[in-house]
Amino acid sequence: MNIREKMMKSLEGKFSFSYGADQTVEENTDKKEQGSKEILQDVEEDNFEDPSKEEVKREVHGQEAEDTEVEAMEKVGLNKLDEEERIEEKNLEAMRDAAKEENASLLKTITELRSQIEETKANSDSTNQDAGEQVKSLKAELISEKEKQKSLEQAIDQLQKEVKDKEDCINDVKEKWMLFKNQTIDERKAAEESNNEAVTSLRDKLEASKAKANELQVIFNSMEAEKEQMSEKLLEVTQILQQKKYDEAEKLIELQRKYDEAFEKKDLADRTLDYTRKIVEDQRAQLSTSVVKIQQQKDMVSRKEMERQKSMKEFKSDIQEKEEDLVSMEKIIVDLEAQLSMSEENRKTMEGDHEQVGILRKKIEELEQMVQKSEATEKNKEVEEQKKVEFVNSQTNEIQEKTNENGKLEEKIAELEHELQYVKTKHAEQNLEGRKKLAVITLVLDSLKNKYNLNPEHVQVISDLEIDIKNITHSNKVSGIYILIYMNVDEF
């Protein structure tokens, strides 16, 4: 790489530095130092005699001096800006500390750059001295070589051509450097003007931002006060809602307890009613069976009564016949007694009739035995009839007792049905009252949810309560429908 290419690259780096608007002071200084070092290095690397080399060095040193002045001006400007910022930001402690730290870091960087530039200058001076000595030694060697070796003239001519090229390149570099210098001065002026305008606009913006910050602080304070008031009101409303929730929960628990008690009573009444119905059905079945039996017994008694009446008629007829026979027998006995008396009177006179008298006595005894047998048979018949009458009377009394028991059972069944009707009515009234209370609670919860701006947690609690109330209302409604259907009520 020849000197021209290196110088063009260094100038391109400088121009790119001059046109870069978003680069910092450290980057600009580094690029300037790098360009100066490259130019000095390129000049020092050439081991030939160049009359314009010292002029290039002076230009480079002049550039470094101008860069130093620019840095000093930039430092002064930065210090002024920092001082103004410190004055304006006395009340903003955090921003001031940040600005101090940033300024300290910038000052440290500038100091380091200045020390580096001074070291670079010292190195460049020593390098220039060494280069002058080397040039002198080279001149002496060149003169001696020209005298000794004429064969090197072509090389010298070539070197002279290169020197001319380098002179042209240096002239181009000078022109570009002057253009860059003028352009840099204009840019610095424009930057200073823009910086002044920016500082003025920043001051105006700072004042406006301070006023706006004060207004925002006032608004924030008022919002904080309103927020505290709203928090207190919300806390009070939350406490009221919590208390109401507890009250409603207690009421719901009480209603649930009453409902459970009513349901238990209803269940007990249902079980009692079922048991009573079963008993009544059993007793009705027994009653129907007993009625059938009683009817059969009545039929049997009536048949027996008819038989008894028939037998009584027959017995009476037999008795009448027997009485007639007895009358006839009595007559016969009387006649026989008369005849016996006559025979006894005539016995004395009629001894031959003794056998006839014995026969007559035997007949009389037989007749008496027959009368006794008929009397015994009559007594037995009367005893049997008496037993039949007593049996019929006992059956009649038993039927009467069972009829009385059935009447009592029917009265008890009527009382139980009346009591069951009362329990059903009471349970329906309690269900209706519970539904009314649940409806009132639902309305209160809806009014609370619609009137106050509640938290989602409170709204969720109220929604859960409403769901529980709906479930209780549905179960009560279903049980009430069953009860009212059982009570033969048309409307619910």
pLDDT in tens, 69-114: 656 665 665 565 556 556 666 655 666 666 567 666 666 766 676 6
pLDDT number for residue 15 = 43
Q: What residue type is assigned to position 130 of the chain?
A: D
Residue predicted with more confidence, 424 or 145: 424
Mean pLDDT of the chain: 65
Mean pLDDT value across residues 403-410: 71
Task: Give the whole-angstrom CA distance, residue 178 versus residue 149.
Answer: 43
Q: Which residues fall within 8 angstroms of residue 138, CB to CB, at 6 or more apart?
A: 47, 48, 49
pLDDT at 257 over 70: yes
* First-to-final CA distance of the chain: 111
What integer pLDDT is reported at residue 122 of this predicted model? 67
Which residue type occupies 376?
A
Q: Which pLDDT belongs to residue 256?
A: 73
The mean-pLDDT minimum among 89-103, 112-126, 436-450, 475-489 falls in 475-489
d(CA 370, CA 385): 22
* Dist CA 177 CA 42 (whole Å): 17
pLDDT for the residue 217:
74
Query: Which of 96-105, 252-261, 274-283, 291-300 comes out lowest in average pLDDT?
Result: 96-105
More confident residue, 419 or 90: 419
**Domain boundary assignment for the chain:** 3-228, 247-486
The pLDDT of residue 80 is 58
Tokens read off for 480: 């009430």
- Burial degree of 413 (CB within 10 A; 0-12, 13-18, 19+): middle
Top pLDDT among 290 and 73 is at 290
- For tokens 């903003």, name the residue: 92
Q: Maximum CA pair distance of the chain?
A: 250
Given a contact cutoff of 8 angstroms between Cβ atoms, the answer to whether 260 and 358 are in contact is no
Q: What is the mean pLDDT of residues 442-469?
A: 64
Q: Is pLDDT above 60 for 489?
A: no
Which pLDDT score, from 0 to 100, does residue 274 have? 77
What's the confidence (pLDDT) of residue 147?
Answer: 67
Is residue 65 pLDDT above 60, yes or no? yes
Query: What was the pLDDT predicted at 58?
Result: 61
User: pLDDT at position 78, please?
Assistant: 56
Give 151-160's long-range contacts (Cβ < 8 A, gap of 24+): 159/48
Contacts of 153 (CB under 8 A, 6+ apart): 146
150: which DSSP letter?
G
**pLDDT, tens only, 474-485:** 554 444 444 444
pLDDT tens for 368-395 read: 677 677 666 666 767 776 776 677 677 6
* Of 199-208, 219-228, 234-243, 457-466, the least confident: 457-466
Q: In whole angstroms, give the CA distance from residue 343 to residue 347.
A: 5
CB atoms within 10 A of CB 304: 17
pLDDT in tens, 135-182: 566 666 666 665 665 665 666 667 667 767 777 777 776 777 777 777
Section 208-218 average pLDDT: 74
What is the C-alpha separation between 347 and 364, in angstroms, rounded? 18
Sign of the CA dihedral running 460, 462, 465, 470: negative
Q: Is the pTM of this model over 0.85?
A: no
Written in H, E and C, the secondary structure of 340-351 is HHHHHHHHCCCH
What pLDDT does 240 receive?
76
Q: Is the pLDDT of residue 305 over 50?
A: yes
Q: What is the pLDDT of residue 23?
A: 46
User: What does the alpha-carbon distance between residue 200 and residue 204 come to, in Å, rounded to a whole number?
Assistant: 6
Q: Where residue 412 falls among pLDDT bands split at 50, 70, 90?
A: confident
Confidence (pLDDT) at 19: 40
